[in-house]
Amino acid sequence: MVRAVAEEPILLFERKSEHIGLVTFNRPAALNALSAALAGELARTVATISGDDDLRVVVFTGAGNKAFCAGGDIKEFRSRTPARAFEISRQRQALFRAVETLPQVSIAAINGYAFGAGSEFALSCTLRVASDRAKLGLPELNLGIIPGAAGTQRLPRLVGKGRALDIILTGRTVSAEEALRIGLVDRVVANDRVLDEALELAALIARKAPLAARLARKAIDVSFDSSIEEGGAMESAFLSVCFSSEDLQEGIAAFEEQRPPNFRGK
């Protein structure tokens, strides 16, 4: 009797510690392309992560040594109608927005190609750590389409309008070195160090007060959609919330006792 071989999951979740999770796009033969099935698994995993109060940081990476996520699965494009394209675009935008607004800090460990939806996903993460061999870009115009997962919205916010237009209109590849220089990624390390670097960064952030980390992110996000006065008012409101927290008392006590703080997110 021939036994059926169980298919390997296309998305992996691993808890690296009490407060740190690792999500891996696991389609290395397809360069971790974001198929409909992978997007569905990702949506379910992101929803689970969002409700996990113990997790403080989540790292996303790609399986294999070639790609983080090489974009959408082009095999699925041929049968896609205009109406279906609109629907999928809105779904991917909602999914990446869910990543962007996770209670946890999200870190993209970009270990290779990150094109199209792969770059758009990385843009939705809080921070981006790239391999020195990483290649990024939004090459959709080369196929006769435009980015559809909010790449036209997030890229200019990160690198400025002119650079975003250059990258999108040319469809060119951005090296890790250039990505760091223009602010598209936050750190570049040797290829064999990218995941370790991301996890070390995650560990550093996970030791901080989680409530304060969430409010700091919100305050910075507000700055992009409001005046300095409006953003400053929100910053003051968030600061007052921190001053009502148990974490503040723990932080002060730890400082005075010269020991690491044990923050609880309360």
| The pLDDT of residue 1 | 43
Sheet with 67-69, edge to edge strand ranges: 67-69, 113-115, 135-137, 174-175
Q: Choose among 106, 125, 71, 109: nearest CA to 190.
A: 109
pLDDT confidence bin for 3, thresholds 50/70/90 = low
Question: What is the average pLDDT score of the chain?
Answer: 92
| The pLDDT of residue 114 | 98
Type of residue at 208: K
- Which residues face 22 on adjacent strands? 14, 59
CB atoms inside a 10 Å sphere around CB 255: 10
pLDDT over 70 (residue 2): no
In the DSSP assignment, the letter for residue 3 is P
* Tokens, residue 205: 């952030």
- Expressed in angstroms, the distance from the first to the final Cα of the chain is 57
- How far, in Å, CA of 78 to CA of 257, rounded? 64
| The pLDDT of residue 238 | 74
Higher pLDDT, residue 199 or 1: 199
- Which residues face 174 on adjacent strands? 136
| The pLDDT of residue 20 | 99
For the stretch 134-181, pLDDT in tens is 999 999 999 889 999 999 999 999 999 999 999 999 999 999 999 999
Percent of the chain, pLDDT > 70? 96
pLDDT over 90 (residue 196): yes
pLDDT confidence bin for 263, thresholds 50/70/90 = confident
- How far, in Å, CA of 239 to CA of 26, rounded? 40
In the DSSP assignment, the letter for residue 134 is -
SS3 assignment, position 62: strand
| The pLDDT of residue 228 | 67
- How far, in Å, CA of 197 to CA of 7, rounded? 30
pTM, two decimals, is: 0.90
pLDDT confidence bin for 122, thresholds 50/70/90 = very high
pLDDT confidence bin for 108, thresholds 50/70/90 = very high
| The pLDDT of residue 91 | 95
Q: What residues are labeled active site?
A: 120, 140
Within its chain, how far is the Cα of 247 from the centroid?
26
Matching residue, tokens 């005046």: 227
Over residues 56-85, the mean pLDDT reads 91
SS3 assignment, position 124: helix
- Is residue 251 within 8 A of residue 263, CB to CB? The reply is yes
